[in-house]
C-alpha cells in the first residue's frame, strides 16, 4: 500500500495514456516559466513541461515515484507538498496538482489551495485536476479502486475554495480525453430463420402512406422516448475528470 509505483504497475496504469490526458494542461504554461507539480507520480506531467521548455519541479511523498522521476532525468523531491510550498513562497509561475485533492479531507484541500496561492508569483496559475463525481462509473467503481481516496469533490466546491483563497479568473472544465463508460449489453434476440428474401428499402413517407395515423403517432412517441432515454444515459457518463484553474 505504501509503494505507489508498485500499485501503478500492478493496476496496469499506462504512462502513455496518462501523458496524453495531461497534454492539454501542460499547454496552459508558457516556455520559460517555472511550474511546481504536487503529487508528481512517475513524472508524466514533468516530462510534458520539459518538452515545452518549462522548468518543472516535482514533489511526491512516495520515494519510489521520486526515484522513477530521477531515472528519467526529472527534477523531483520527496516531500510533503504543503511543507514544500511553505518553504518556496512566491517562487513559481504555476502550480499543478492532478488527482491529489481526492486524497485529502476538506480542511487539507483548503490548506493546499492557500499554500499554492502563497507559492505562486503574481499572475501565476493554479490548476487542480480531480475525478468527476458526475460520472456514474467513477461514483460507483473507479473511485474506490484506490485505498488512499478520501472523498469526491464537486467543481463548484473547488472553485469556491480558489475564490476564497484570493484567486481570480476562476474557471472550470472537463477533460474529454478521460472517458469512463458503463457497458450496455445488446438484447439477446432469437436468430432470424433463413433463408429470407432480401429486404426492400421503405422510406418514411411511403410507410406513413400505408400505416394508420394512430400507429404512426405511437411510433413517433416511441422514437422520442428512446431518444430521451439515450440522452439521459449519456448524461450519466460525462468525462471522468474535471479541472479548476485560477490566477494569483
> What is the structure's pLDDT at 182?
56
Residue 231 C-alpha cell reads as 440522452
- Separation CA 93–CA 113 (nearest Å): 15
What pLDDT shows up at residue 205? 61
pTM: 0.83
- Give the pLDDT confidence of 47-88 residue by residue, as tens digits: 999 999 999 999 999 999 999 999 999 999 999 999 999 999
Residue 228's pLDDT is 76
Q: What is the CA radius of gyration of the chain?
A: 24
Q: Rounded to an integer, what distance in angstroms lies between the CA atom of residue 202 and that of residue 206?
A: 6
- Residue the block writes with cell 460525462: 238
Give residue-wise pLDDT tens across range 140-165: 999 999 999 999 999 999 999 999 99
The pLDDT of residue 221: 78
**Beta carbons of 5 and 65 less than 8 angstroms apart:** yes
Cis amide linkage into residue 195, ω under 30° from 0: yes
Residues 6+ apart with CB under 8 A from 4: 41, 62, 64, 65
Locate CATH 3.40.50.150 in the chain: 4-180+238-247
66, 141, 188 from 25: Cα distances, Å: 21, 25, 43
The per-residue pLDDT for 235 is 76
Q: What is the pLDDT of residue 167?
A: 99
pLDDT for position 140 = 94
Whether the CB-CB separation of 113 and 246 falls below 8 Å is answered with no
- Residue 231: its H or E element: helix 213-235
Cell of 71: 531515472
End-to-end alpha carbon distance in the chain: 36
Distance set, CA 19 to CA 24, 62, 64, 96, 184 (Å): 10, 20, 19, 14, 29
Domain at 4-180+238-247, CATH class:
alpha beta
pLDDT, averaged in runs of 10, over the chain (248 residues): 84 94 97 98 98 98 96 97 98 98 98 99 99 95 94 98 98 93 54 61 62 73 76 82 98
Q: 511543507: which residue's cell?
A: 83
Amino acid at each position: 500500500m505504501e509503494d505507489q509505483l508498485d500499485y501503478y504497475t500492478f493496476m496496469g496504469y499506462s504512462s502513455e495514456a496518462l501523458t496524453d490526458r495531461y497534454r492539454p494542461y501542460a499547454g496552459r504554461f508558457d516556455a520559460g516559466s517555472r511550474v511546481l507539480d504536487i503529487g508528481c507520480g512517475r513524472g508524466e506531467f514533468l516530462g510534458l513541461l520539459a518538452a515545452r521548455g518549462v522548468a518543472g519541479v516535482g514533489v511526491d511523498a512516495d520515494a519510489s515515484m521520486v526515484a522513477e522521476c530521477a531515472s528519467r532525468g526529472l527534477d523531483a523531491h520527496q516531500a510533503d507538498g504543503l511543507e514544500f510550498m511553505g518553504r518556496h513562497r512566491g517562487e513559481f509561475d504555476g502550480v499543478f496538482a492532478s488527482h491529489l485533492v481526492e486524497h485529502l479531507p476538506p480542511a487539507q484541500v483548503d490548506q493546499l489551495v492557500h499554500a499554492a496561492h502563497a507559492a505562486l508569483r503574481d499572475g501565476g496559475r493554479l490548476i487542480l485536476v480531480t475525478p468527476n463525481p458526475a460520472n456514474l462509473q467513477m461514483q460507483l467503481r473507479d473511485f474506490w479502486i484506490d485505498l488512499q481516496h478520501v472523498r469526491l469533490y464537486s467543481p463548484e466546491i473547488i472553485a469556491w475554495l480558489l475564490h476564497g483563497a484570493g484567486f481570480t479568473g476562476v474557471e472550470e472544465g472537463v477533460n474529454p480525453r478521460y472517458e469512463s463508460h458503463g457497458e450496455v449489453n445488446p438484447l439477446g434476440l432469437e436468430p432470424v430463420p433463413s433463408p429470407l428474401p432480401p429486404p426492400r428499402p421503405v422510406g418514411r413517407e411511403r410507410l406513413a402512406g400505408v400505416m394508420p395515423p394512430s400507429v404512426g403517432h405511437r411510433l413517433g412517441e416511441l422514437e422520442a422516448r428512446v431518444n430521451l432515454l439515450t440522452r439521459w444515459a449519456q448524461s450519466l457518463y460525462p468525462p471522468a475528470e474535471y479541472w479548476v484553474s485560477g490566477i494569483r
